[in-house]
């Protein structure tokens, strides 16, 4: 199959490009390299540097005419979205609308959208099922939810088959530790550099962390999976997590052990809009895609630690 990956020079997108090539698909990566890295794009993929919100992107999609479009390009900073909701919406909503329009014009057979557990209401019953109430706490989450609705609109009224993966907190090699997203990458970067590590709030807040190869496996299964007809938005969404939440304090302890880090955590202020507990029910992905996370928690942490230890100085601020 021909697969176009937006954001394919980023953390998750580059792992996806690797897996698609390993499965013998023809891969084109489009990325503006705003946070992504050219060297993460595998050699076997075509790489085009472009912004997804431009006409150039529409032309590229037309020329490539992919069977599947995986849309991962986004600005991923939750706090930046709170500082500048409009800028976030311009990229994450309007940019995504441009990608949807381009995909429809090019006759894409499956559009895989990437969303987040950040769309769920903190008052919904845990673990969150796809049908749980949504009430995002940040403009980032609002944009993710809006794009899910646009996907549903394009599927229902414009003949573009769309499906959405709602990811937990993804971790693994190549995750950029310089922003505020990705606590595991941030801790490793600082611990391995012997720098102070800040834990926000009590550290008891626990999230659904999922190793990147398990996320990529869900995408690969979705490429040609037979999906039940989705009558509404939630019917076209699939949670991808472990259902086994881990706290920031636990992460600190495990990574400090692996890194021989002896400093105590520095106390930082609790983050506004930071949910205390997030865990996803992934039964639907299991039932429909035969998907289940394969990587054990400590194993994923160890592999991530090994990558950051072997690539010290790769990310510099
Ligand atoms: N990492 C997580 O825990 C997580 C969780 C849920 C959802 N997601 C979603 O997964 C996707 C990938 O996230 P990631 O963690 O790999 O982040 P990332 O920042 O590593 O990847 C995003 C990529 O998009 C590119 N990009 C940004 N704006 C662009 C534009 N206008 N045109 C073209 N390319 C552009 C960046 O250069 C980067 O390579 C995002 O949509 C994110 O919201 C991530």
Position 288 in a domain:
no
State the pLDDT at residue 9.
98
Whether 130 contacts 190, CB under 8 Å: no
User: Could you give the C-alpha distances from 213 to 119, 219, 284, 292, in angstroms and in order?
Assistant: 23, 10, 19, 11
State pLDDT tens for residues 228-267.
998 889 889 999 999 999 999 999 999 999 999 999 999 9
* Residue closest to 15 by CA, chosen among 36, 33, 40: 40
Pair 301, 236 in one domain: no
Verify that 130 and 152 share a domain, yes or no: yes
The reply to whether 83 and 213 lie within a common domain is: yes
DSSP reduced 3-state for 213: helix
Tokens of 150: 């646009």
Q: Tell me the pLDDT tens digit for each residue of 109-148.
A: 999 999 999 999 999 999 999 999 999 999 999 999 999 9
pLDDT band at 40 (very low <50, low <70, confident <90, very high): very high
Q: Decide if 61 is inside a domain.
A: yes
Domain assignment of residue 83, yes or no = yes
In this predicted structure, what is the pLDDT of residue 23?
A: 98
Spatial contact of 81 and 144, defined as CB atoms under 8 Å apart:
no
Q: What is the mean pLDDT of residues 95-116?
A: 98
> Does one domain contain both 225 and 300?
no
Same-domain pairing of 181 and 265:
yes
- For 139, the domain range is 2-169+209-240
> Which is the closest atom of ligand 1 to the Cα of 144?
43
194 and 305 assigned to the same domain: yes
* Model pLDDT for residues 281-306, shown as the tens digit of each residue: 999 999 999 999 999 999 999 999 99
Question: Is residue 284 a part of any domain in this protein?
Answer: no
pLDDT at 94: 98
| Cβ–ligand 1 contact at 138 (below 6 Å) | no
In a domain, 316, yes or no: no
* Domain shared by 200 and 234, yes or no: no
* pLDDT tier for residue 317 given thresholds of 50, 70 and 90: low
What CATH number is associated with residue 300?
3.90.25.10
Q: Which atom of ligand 1 is nearest to the CA of 175?
A: 20
Average pLDDT over residues 308-315: 92
Residue 228 sits at the vertex; the CA angle it makes with 226 and 234, to the nearest 5 degrees, is 125
Query: Is pLDDT at 65 greater than 90 in this prediction?
Result: yes
Please report whether residue 287 resides in a domain.
no
Instruction: State pLDDT tens for residues 151-168.
Output: 999 999 999 999 999 999
Query: Mean pLDDT throughout 80-84?
Result: 93
Tell me: do 111 and 189 sit in the same domain. no
Distances (CA, A) of 235 to 20, 130, 132, 238: 25, 8, 12, 8
In a domain, 259, yes or no: yes
Q: Are residues 81 and 223 in the same domain?
A: yes
* Residues 269, 175 share a domain: yes
Are residues 12 and 161 located together in one domain of the fold?
Answer: yes
With a pLDDT cut of 70, the percent of the chain lying above it is: 100
Specify whether the CB–CB gap between 8 and 17 falls below 8 A: yes
Identify the CA nearest to 266 among candidates 199, 188, 180.
Answer: 199
Determine the distance separating the centroid of ligand 1 and the alpha carbon of 107, expressed in angstroms. 24
CA of 74 to the centre of ligand 1 (A): 4
Alpha carbon 86 to its chain centroid, in Å, reads 21
> How far out from the chain centre does Cα 207 lie?
14
Determine which residue's CA is closest to atom 23 belonging to ligand 1. 7
SS3 content of the chain, % helix, strand, coil (to 5): 40, 20, 40
302 burial (CB, 10 Å; 0-12 / 13-18 / 19+) is middle
The domain spanning residue 81 has which CATH number? 3.40.50.720
The DSSP secondary structure of 162-181, one letter per residue, reads: EEEEEE-EEE-TT---SSSS
Sign of CA dihedral 282, 283, 284, 288: positive
Q: How far apart are CA 309 and CA 288, in angstroms?
A: 38
Query: Active-site positions?
Result: 140
Which helix H or strand E contains 224, and what residues bound it? none
The answer on pLDDT for 273 being more than 80 is no
> Predicted confidence band at 223 (pLDDT cuts at 50, 70, 90)?
very high
Total tally of structural domains belonging to the chain: 2
Do residues 6 and 76 share a domain? yes
> What pLDDT is attached to residue 179?
81
pLDDT in tens, 15-28: 999 999 999 999 99
> What is the chain's mean pLDDT, rounded?
96
Is the pLDDT score of 316 beyond 90?
Answer: no
Rounded to the nearest angstrom, the distance between the alpha carbon of 13 and the centre of ligand 1 is 7
Q: Which among 33, 3, 12 has a CA at the least distance from the CA of 172?
A: 12
* 285 occurs within a structural domain: no
């Amino acid at each position: 199959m021909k697969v176009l990956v937006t954001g394919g020079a980023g953390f998750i997108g580059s792992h996806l490009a690797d897996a698609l090539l390993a499965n013998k698909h023809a891969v084109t990566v489009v990325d503006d390299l705003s946070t992504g890295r050219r060297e993460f794009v595998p050699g076997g993929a075509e790489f085009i540097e472009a912004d997804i919100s431009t006409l150039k992107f529409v032309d590229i999609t037309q020329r490539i005419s992919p069977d599947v479009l995986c849309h991962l390009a986004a600005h991923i900073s939750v706090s930046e979205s709170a500082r500048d909701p409009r800028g976030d919406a311009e990229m994450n909503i309007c940019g995504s609308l441009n990608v949807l329009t381009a995909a429809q014009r090019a006759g894409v057979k499956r559009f895989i959208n990437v969303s987040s557990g950040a769309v769920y209401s903190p008052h919904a019953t845990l673990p969150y099922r796809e049908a749980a109430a949504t009430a995002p706490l940040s403009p980032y989450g609002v944009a993710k939810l809006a794009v899910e609705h646009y996907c549903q609109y394009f599927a229902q009224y414009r003949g573009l088959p769309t499906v959405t993966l709602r990811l937990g907190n993804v971790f693994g090699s190549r995750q950029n530790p310089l922003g505020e997203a990705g606590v595991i990458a941030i801790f490793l970067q600082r611990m391995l550099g012997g720098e102070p590590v800040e834990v926000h709030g009590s550290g008891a807040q626990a999230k659904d962390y999922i190793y990147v190869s398990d996320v990529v496996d869900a995408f690969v299964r979705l490429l040609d999976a037979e999906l039940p007809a989705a009558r509404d938005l939630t019917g076209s969404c699939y949670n991808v997590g472990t259902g086994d939440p881990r706290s920031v304090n636990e992460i600190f302890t495990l990574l400090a052990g692996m890194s021989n880090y002896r400093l105590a955590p520095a106390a930082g202020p609790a983050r506004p809009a930071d949910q205390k507990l997030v865990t996803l029910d992934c039964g639907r992905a299991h039932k429909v895609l035969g998907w289940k996370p394969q990587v054990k928690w400590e194993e994923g942490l160890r592999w991530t630690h090994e990558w950051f230890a072997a690539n010290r100085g790769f990310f510099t601020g």
